[in-house]
Amino acid sequence: MVKPSNTGCKFIAILFGIPLLLGFLIIEPLLIYSTIQHGDLSTLVIDGLILAIITLVPPLIITILLRRGARYNRRRQAAAQHDPTALTYHQQPIVNAQIPALPITITLYPTVQARLVLSLISLVLITAIFVGDSQHYIPFHIWPVIFWGLGLVILIWQLWWMIFIHPALHINVTDKEIQMSKFGEESSIEWEDARLFSVFAVKGHCDNVLYELSSDQTIMCWNWDRSLHGMRPTVPTEEFHHKMETILAIIAAKTGLTLYDLR
């Protein structure tokens, strides 16, 4: 057995859960109250529709993702138990007789262009939300300032931390284990604890393959994008691809696991 995967659900919960909570408990009640005070029925209807969308759509999306995740987890468990119906990936890692000298490290950072685009999109969204909603808080002069001030500080700090401080991906392979850090979130799996080695998604013409290594307690996911779109390795491109291929071979050799296809 391997740990059940929550692929996608954690991201969706953060993306929709926080706006849902804030929208339902803070933003929309203030909008509706302000509208009632001004007696604008059309705005009240619009606010009611916005409240309904904020309230109903995220749970619906999360429900769909949970059902899809349940099907995906059934495939994962079947592959971990070596079920004959589980599919193996068509391109297995080539295991060499001699393992290269360890440790092997790979580090990826977002490119300058990707950082600028992410920063620009975030700035535009923050400005649009502030300008669009601030007019509804006329009866509440102090609370919008506090609310938006704290929100901006937290969001800017998170964006700076994710985009500029931590690498997008850092992998360190040692003789004992594989260690991984993605935007500061660290995890590790010792070779003897690994239970499943798989491909769970392929993008493009097999140019971007998403891998997973799982134990009973930990799930590690990473992708090998041959085009390096938006990413910059700390070593030359040819060396980066060679290291990625070597790491796959080391995982197969150290764990003795077959690379399964969970798509």
Residue 221 belongs to a domain: yes
Rounded Cα gap, residues 171 and 148, in angstroms: 37
Which segments of the chain are extended strands (E)? 104-110, 169-173, 177-182, 185-190, 196-203, 208-214, 219-225, 231-233, 259-261
Tell me phi and psi for residue 147, to 5 degrees.
Answer: -60, -55
Q: What are phi and psi of 215, to 5 degrees?
A: -120, -170
User: Can you state the percent helix, strand and coil of the chain, rounding each to 5?
Assistant: 55, 20, 25
Nearest to 27 by CA among 149, 139, 133: 133
Q: What is the pLDDT of residue 155?
A: 61
* Domain extent for 75: 1-79
pLDDT value of residue 115: 64
What pLDDT is attached to residue 71?
Answer: 85
Q: Which CATH number characterizes residue 246's domain?
A: 2.30.29.150
Report yes or no on 11 lying in a domain. yes
Whether residue 143 is contained in a domain is answered as no
Contact 108, 231 (CB under 8 A): yes
Q: Between the CA of residue 127 and those of 15, 149, 177, 244, what are the distances in Å?
A: 18, 12, 45, 40
Number of compact structural domains in the chain: 2
**Domain annotation covers residue 8:** yes
Q: Is the dihedral of CA 51, 56, 21, 62 positive or negative?
A: negative
pLDDT at position 8:
47
Confirm whether 91 is domain-assigned. no
CA 32 to chain centre: 34
Residue 146 falls inside a structural domain: no
> Within a domain: residue 154?
no
Tell me how far the alpha carbon of residue 235 is from its chain's centroid: 24
One digit per residue, the tens of pLDDT, for the chain of length 263 reads: 787 766 545 555 555 555 555 555 565 566 666 666 665 666 666 666 766 666 677 677 777 777 887 888 889 999 999 899 999 999 999 887 677 889 999 999 887 666 666 666 666 665 665 555 555 544 555 555 565 566 666 666 666 655 566 788 999 999 999 999 987 788 999 999 999 999 988 987 778 999 999 999 999 999 999 988 888 899 999 999 999 999 999 999 999 999 999 98
**Angle at CA 1, nearest 5°, toward 186 and 243?**
45
149 assigned to some structural domain: no
The span from the CA of 90 to the CA of 246, in Å, is 18
Q: What pTM did the predictor assign?
A: 0.68
